[in-house]
């Protein structure tokens, strides 16, 4: 379209200033979706002004079409004509829909035709150049397309400049492809990538598989979606591919509509190799066998368009060790295996990457048809589980601290804290203290692990954890391959359960008894934040004998008198143990009175702590408290 001529015609109806005002108004009202050319065309249409195109070819290009334009006029060569489909409307009537794709040298675009408008292309064929009038544009599936309005017309043009339009061919070479064109190509499949599954926004599961196609002129990536992703294609196959070409992240991609295998390539036998030989098989598919030494927890990997489950294992043979990744539903094949199993794993893709220090790392990735086969006849190094006592963890060298398996009894469980990560996602963390007969350590659980059903007094087994210094604490964390087992069968920390009358000074033990009384003392203890000594309130201010005036640290405290039938003993509780047994947070305890403890009278608990002498009398300093578990109590009483 000659915009200058159309503009001159509009200026016969209004001043230049009026036209400029109208153009700006149209562009602003379209939120910038219309450019100046589109705005001028719209104004001319409102004024019912038209140019005579009988003697000139229309020169408005496909690349000029923007979303939301009305009365679009365009010429292009028909590159593809779809089959006409019938559909049912909500009112029960039948409708028809079809489409054509037209192109010029600036791009291509689809025109969708509804009902009687389909008749406009009955006598047209691929390769014809046509002029489309009174279409409107919209965005669909992130692409601009044309739709047929009630005034749509299509006219076949006999005389046109061939240089303005692409050549229509039955088959294209890859070098002839351009973005936004339909095409049929032939070539050899030189690489096939794993099928992946992903969750759509509507909750359905989608499938996608890609491949690389090569002909004498170049290569292109092809993408198969959903049912097409189930078609078996292999490296070496010669295929005919029909689809829509678009600009990808690394060059052109073709979204496949149909694929036909013209000649099956010879399927190479999958070699069975030792782990040390894997660098010789980069990008190939292999089978390996050995013994599983590590199994990671399932985790979610987030991509721009999807979230995918992934789980990893380490496999060891007599020549080395390698990491193997299982994606999506492939993680299901790991349900029936455990660390120490001897297995054969088939059809794994060999991958290579460089770490931060410049070292080449070889790993394996499971394919959709990979299998994990248990076979105890496989020769591989024996798997031994090295359980480390908690007290020995602090003595380990730095390398050994990266892979720790230990067993402990849960002393104290702290509340879950939520936080925001640097990338804007939310996370959760929970701390707990665990102990064995040699010492104690703080265990840190993250995200999903914070929701595990763990109670004070439970036995936990930490598998493949790692130690990290965190200020005043040495923390035991769960890494990628770390797992936690709650109350593992046949593995318990030996409990030193004693009757009250048997307790000896300096003994760490567990007692069970009923609360029969409590000391009349404040529920909040005020301590110096510097030296930890008790502070006094003097003239409305807290003073420490050594540090002077301070802002005290507030700690909940109470002493309960506990009786188990053999005797009674004062049990001193501090901090979180007070909050838990009273089911009252610290800020509420500060305003509570001693009547709060009345509800504990007659209740039975299991107390774990240290027997120590205070003012000539034996008292029990409580580390943790819990309600008794009947099944565990029966087992314990059998051994008392």
Dihedral sign from CA coordinates of 161, 166, 171, 173: positive
pLDDT band at 89 (very low <50, low <70, confident <90, very high): confident
Q: Which residues contact 479 (CB under 8 A, 6 or more apart)?
A: 402, 464, 465, 466
- The CATH code for residues 500-639 is 2.40.50.140
Other C-beta atoms within 10 Å of 255: how many? 15
What's the pLDDT at 50? 55
pLDDT band at 635 (very low <50, low <70, confident <90, very high): low
Which stretch, 336-340, 562-566, 627-631, has highest mean pLDDT?
Answer: 562-566
Question: Buried b vs exposed e over 560-598: b needs ≥16 C-beta within 10 Å?
Answer: bbbebeeebbbbbbeebbbbbbbebeeeebeeeeeebbe
Q: Does domain 3-164 have CATH number 2.102.10.10?
A: no
Contact 409, 402 (CB under 8 A): no
- 634 three-state secondary structure: helix
- Report the first-to-last Cα separation within the chain, whole angstroms: 100
Structure tokens that stand for 627 in this block: 């309600």
496-512 tens-digit pLDDT: 888 999 999 988 888 99
Contact 572, 620 (CB under 8 A): yes
What's the pLDDT at 57? 43
pLDDT band at 54 (very low <50, low <70, confident <90, very high): very low
What's the pLDDT at 52? 46
Q: Per mean pLDDT, which range of 178-187, 285-294, 580-589 is the poorest? A: 178-187
Stretch 596-621: mean pLDDT, rounded? 91
Higher confidence at residue 273 or residue 399?
273
Higher confidence at residue 44 or residue 212?
212
pLDDT band at 561 (very low <50, low <70, confident <90, very high): very high
Dump strand ranges (E) for 375-489: 404-413, 417-420, 426-436, 439-446, 459-470, 473-486
How far apart, in whole angstroms, are the C-alpha atoms of residue 251 and residue 299? 31
In Å, the largest CA–CA distance within the chain is: 118
pLDDT at 53 over 50: no
Higher confidence at residue 285 or residue 106?
285
Q: Per mean pLDDT, which range of 13-22, 126-135, 315-324, 369-378 is the poorest? A: 13-22
Higher confidence at residue 55 or residue 556?
556
- CATH topology classification for 390-486: OB fold (Dihydrolipoamide Acetyltransferase, E2P) (2.40.50)
486 vs 254, 409, 411, 454, 483, CA distance in Å? 51, 10, 14, 7, 10
CATH 2.40.50.140 residue spans of the chain: 3-164, 174-263, 275-374, 390-486, 500-639
Stretch 580-605: mean pLDDT, rounded? 91
CATH label, 275-374, candidates 3.30.160.270, 3.30.70.1560, 2.60.40.1120, 2.40.50.140? 2.40.50.140
How far apart, in whole angstroms, are the C-alpha atoms of residue 226 and residue 228? 5
402-420 tens-digit pLDDT: 889 999 988 888 889 999 8
Q: Per mean pLDDT, which range of 125-129, 202-206, 362-366 is the poorest? A: 202-206
26 vs 60, 138, 144, 186, CA distance in Å? 19, 17, 20, 47
144-197 tens-digit pLDDT: 889 987 889 999 998 888 888 888 888 999 988 887 788 899 999 988 887 888
What's the pLDDT at 489? 78
Stretch 243-267: mean pLDDT, rounded? 85
pLDDT at 639 over 80: no
What's the pLDDT at 69? 86
What's the pLDDT at 5? 67
pLDDT at 515 over 90: yes
Stretch 538-561: mean pLDDT, rounded? 90
How far apart, in whole angstroms, are the C-alpha atoms of residue 198 and residue 208? 8
- CATH topology classification for 174-263: OB fold (Dihydrolipoamide Acetyltransferase, E2P) (2.40.50)
Whole-number mean pLDDT of the chain? Answer: 86
243 vs 127, 173, 185, 191, 297, CA distance in Å? 18, 13, 9, 18, 40
How far apart, in whole angstroms, are the C-alpha atoms of residue 349 and residue 364? 5
Stretch 511-534: mean pLDDT, rounded? 91
Which stretch, 9-18, 557-566, 626-635, has highest mean pLDDT?
Answer: 557-566
């Amino acid at each position: 379209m000659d915009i200058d001529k159309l503009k001159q015609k509009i200026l016969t109806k209004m001043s230049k200033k009026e036209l400029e005002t109208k153009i700006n108004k149209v562009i602003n009202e379209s939120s910038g979706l219309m450019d100046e050319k589109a705005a001028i065309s719209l104004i001319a249409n409102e004024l019912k002004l038209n140019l005579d195109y009988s003697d000139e070819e229309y020169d408005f290009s496909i690349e000029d079409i923007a979303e939301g334009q009305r009365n679009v006029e365009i010429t292009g060569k028909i590159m593809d004509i779809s089959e006409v489909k019938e559909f049912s409307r909500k009112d029960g009537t039948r409708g028809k829909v079809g489409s054509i794709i037209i192109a010029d040298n600036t791009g291509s675009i689809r025109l969708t035709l509804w009902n009687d408008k389909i008749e406009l292309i009955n006598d047209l064929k691929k390769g014809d150049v046509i002029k489309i009038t009174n279409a409107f544009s919209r965005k669909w599936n992130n692409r601009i397309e044309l739709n047929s309005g009630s005034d749509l017309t299509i006219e076949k043009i006999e005389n046109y400049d061939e240089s303005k339009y692409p050549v229509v061919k039955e088959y294209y070479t890859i070098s002839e492809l351009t973005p936004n064109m339909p095409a049929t190509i032939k070539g050899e499949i030189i690489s096939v990538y794993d099928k992946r599954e992903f969750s759509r926004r509507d909750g359905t599961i989608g499938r996608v598989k890609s491949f690389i196609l090569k002909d004498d002129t170049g290569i292109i990536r092809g993408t198969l979606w959903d049912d097409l992703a189930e078609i078996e294609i292999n490296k070496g196959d010669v295929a005919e591919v029909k689809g829509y070409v678009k600009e990808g992240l690394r060059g052109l991609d073709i979204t496949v509509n149909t694929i036909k295998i013209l000649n099956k390539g010879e399927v190479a036998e999958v070699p069975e190799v030792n782990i040390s030989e894997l660098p010789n098989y980069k990008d190939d598919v292999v089978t390996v066998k050995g013994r599983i030494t590590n199994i990671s927890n399932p985790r979610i990997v987030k991509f721009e368009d999807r979230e995918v489950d992934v789980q990893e294992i380490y496999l060891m043979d007599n020549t080395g060790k390698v990491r193997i990744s299982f994606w999506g539903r492939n993680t299901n094949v790991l349900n029936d295996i455990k660390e120490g199993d001897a297995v054969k794993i088939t059809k794994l893709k060999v991958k290579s990457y460089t770490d931060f220090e410049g070292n080449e790392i070889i790993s394996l990735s499971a394919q959709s048809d990979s299998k994990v086969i248990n076979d105890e006849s496989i020769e591989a190094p024996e798997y031994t589980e090295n359980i480390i006592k908690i007290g020995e963890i602090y003595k380990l060298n730095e390398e050994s601290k990266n892979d720790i398996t230990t067993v402990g009894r849960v002393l104290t469980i702290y509340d879950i804290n939520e936080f925001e990560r640097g990338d804007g996602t939310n996370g959760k963390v929970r701390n707990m203290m665990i102990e064995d007969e040699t010492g104690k350590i703080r265990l840190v659980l993250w995200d999903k692990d914070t929701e595990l059903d763990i109670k004070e007094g439970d036995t936990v087994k930490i598998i493949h954890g790692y130690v990290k210094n965190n200020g005043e604490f040495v923390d035991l964390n769960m890494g990628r391959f770390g797992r936690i087992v709650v109350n593992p069968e046949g593995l318990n920390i030996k409990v030193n359960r004693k009757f009250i009358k048997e307790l000896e000074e300096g003994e760490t033990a567990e007692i069970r008894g009923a609360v029969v009384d409590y000391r009349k003392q404040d529920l909040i203890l005020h301590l110096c934040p510097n030296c930890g000594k008790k502070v006094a309130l003097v003239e409305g201010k807290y003073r420490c004998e050594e540090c002077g005036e301070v802002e005290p640290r507030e700690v909940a405290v109470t002493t309960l008198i506990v009786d188990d039938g053999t005797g009674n003993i004062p049990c001193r509780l501090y901090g979180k143990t007070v909050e838990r047994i009273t089911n009252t947070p610290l800020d509420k305890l500060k305003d509570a009175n001693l009547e709060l403890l009345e509800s504990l009278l007659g209740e039975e608990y299991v107390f774990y702590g240290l027997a120590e002498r205070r003012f000539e009398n034996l008292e029990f300093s409580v580390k943790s408290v819990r309600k008794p578990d009947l099944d565990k109590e029966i087992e314990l009483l059998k051994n008392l």
